[in-house]
Amino acid sequence: MNRVLVLALVLNFAFVIASPAQDTYIRAGGVIDVEVGQLIENQIIRIDGERIVAIGPNISIPAGADVIDLSDSVVMPGMVEAHTHLALSTQQPRDFGRFFFTNVIETTAYRAIQGVTNARSLLEHGFTSIRDLGNNGNYADLDLKRSIAEGWIPGPDMQGVGRIIAPFGGQFKLQPEHPELSEPEYLTADTHDEMRKAIHQNLHYGTDLIKIVVDDYRYIYSAEDIAYAVEQTKRAGVKLAAHVATAQGAKNAIAAGVNSLEHAWALDADDFRAMKEKGIFLVGTDFPPDQAGYFAGYDTALARIQYDQRIDRLKRGYNAGIDIAFGADVTDQMDDFTRGSRTISFIDSYLDAGISPADLLRILTVNGARLMGWEEDKGTVSTGKHADLIAVSGNPLDDPLVLKTVSFVMKRGVVYKRDGVFGWSVPLTRTYD
């Protein structure tokens, strides 16, 4: 390696500071007000520690202050990925679209190491907050969350569900000689007592929310079963996410009043009406057709039909005015993609559904923050909120595809990416809980 290259690498990685900036100023060519859906030109954002303390066109910058010049860029809030699985990276073609193999073959430790890369990749692509919805072996999501919070590794702020709660079998097709293979991916719960115990176990280990699988088998959770889970999670002050695939599963979850439907491929007008009335989010995870291997057995024609159906229900939900949060549910290790680049590519599905750029930006920011209960701290570029900021080269209200090339990422006042280069240095000192 020549000396110039070494120097360049050192410089690239030297800009990252371990602790939040004290009194930093960002000169922004424009800032997106995602709530209004407007670009406001020539703004200065003042950041103290991990929060935005002022924003406006006429903020004076003291001499010698730390200034980040983004005057040729558009700044917007960091994005929220509301349905991911950091420690699940299925290998194709080995696993042939079945995460069963990945979960059974790989150790939790190996998957956690993959999760480190996935977390970094999501941050690099502008996702400053994520909701991890399970399949992380033995609670690797919570260890990743802790490692990010303590500064061992770079990654988004996150919430994790721990182990997914499901009826017998979890989401696997087991055989009677190995019923234990659903461990540790799932906590199986077929009675209300088992459900309560599973929720308590997750809460004990520190999960931020609870996820149930409603209807992957012919024995599905009833509305009464789910209402019991809603009652238990409400009592504990956490939210309940429901994986639903079938029409009946969705109806049961909606009747019970969960906080979000994950996937929910089959929803009708009555469902949308009830979701709107109850404030239930749709996190649609609508896979692009090229993810055929995962759900349609590499049948690209079938994948296309499924995609069209899903985009149609996304469109109907959008027109019905339900709350939608962005979730890509990427678990596949695909050629030419990282976790982050693959995740942001899912905005194509939203655009295909006819969602306007302004609404897409809301789906990617404020909506996700609200679903996570983080609306006080995240989701908009506002005084008092965390300085979770990204920058792109054009106006995403005109061309949302610029979101695929994020050039700058700041989370809680710490710069992680600048001029398109991601950098990170582990801080020398830390205090632990």
Smallest separation, CB 82 to Zn ion (Å): 10
Site string for Zn ion, 5-34 (x = CB under 5 A): ------------------------------
Size of the site for Zn ion (CB under 5 A): 1
* Binding residues for Zn ion restricted to 320-359, rule: CB under 5 A: 329
Query: What is 110-147 written as a DSSP string?
Result: HHHHHHHHHHHHHHHTTEEEEEE-S--TTTHHHHHHHH
234: DSSP letter: H
Site string for Zn ion, 282-321 (x = CB under 5 A): ----------------------------------------
Smallest separation, CB 85 to Zn ion (Å): 6
φ, ψ dihedrals at 78, nearest 5° = -55, 150
- Per this entry, what is the length of the chain? 433
Smallest separation, CB 83 to Zn ion (Å): 6
Q: Which is nearer to Zn ion, 214 or 361 (CB)?
A: 214
Smallest separation, CB 244 to Zn ion (Å): 12
Query: Could you give the 3-state DSSP secondary structure of residue 346?
Result: coil
List residues bridging with 281 in a β-sheet.
260
List residues bridging with 66 in a β-sheet.
24
CB atoms within 10 A of CB 94: 11
Q: Which is nearer to Zn ion, 95 or 388 (CB)?
A: 95
Q: Which is nearer to Zn ion, 229 or 283 (CB)?
A: 283
Q: Which is nearer to Zn ion, 81 or 329 (CB)?
A: 329
Smallest separation, CB 346 to Zn ion (Å): 13
216 in contact with Zn ion (CB under 5 A): no
Smallest separation, CB 245 to Zn ion (Å): 11
Contact between 306 and 294 under an 8 Å Cβ cutoff? The reply is: no
Smallest separation, CB 133 to Zn ion (Å): 5
176: DSSP letter: T
Q: Which is nearer to Zn ion, 118 or 380 (CB)?
A: 118
Q: Which is nearer to Zn ion, 124 or 262 (CB)?
A: 262
* Cis peptide upstream of residue 184 (ω within 30 degrees of 0): yes
Helix or strand (DSSP H, E) at 25: strand 24-33
Q: Which is nearer to Zn ion, 16 or 86 (CB)?
A: 86
- The identity of residue 149, as a single letter, is A
Return d(Cα 163, Cα 27) in angstroms, integer.
43
Smallest separation, CB 135 to Zn ion (Å): 7
Query: Could you give the 3-state DSSP secondary structure of residue 395?
Result: coil
Q: Which is nearer to Zn ion, 52 or 253 (CB)?
A: 253
Return d(Cα 162, Cα 140) in angstroms, integer.
8
Taken in order 374, 152, 364, 89, the sign of the CA dihedral is: negative
Site string for Zn ion, 247-286 (x = CB under 5 A): ----------------------------------------
Instruction: Tell me the C-alpha to C-alpha distance, in Å, between residue 379 and each of 27, 143, 150, 362.
Output: 20, 25, 22, 8
Site string for Zn ion, 149-168 (x = CB under 5 A): --------------------
Residue ranges binding Zn ion (CB under 5 A): 329
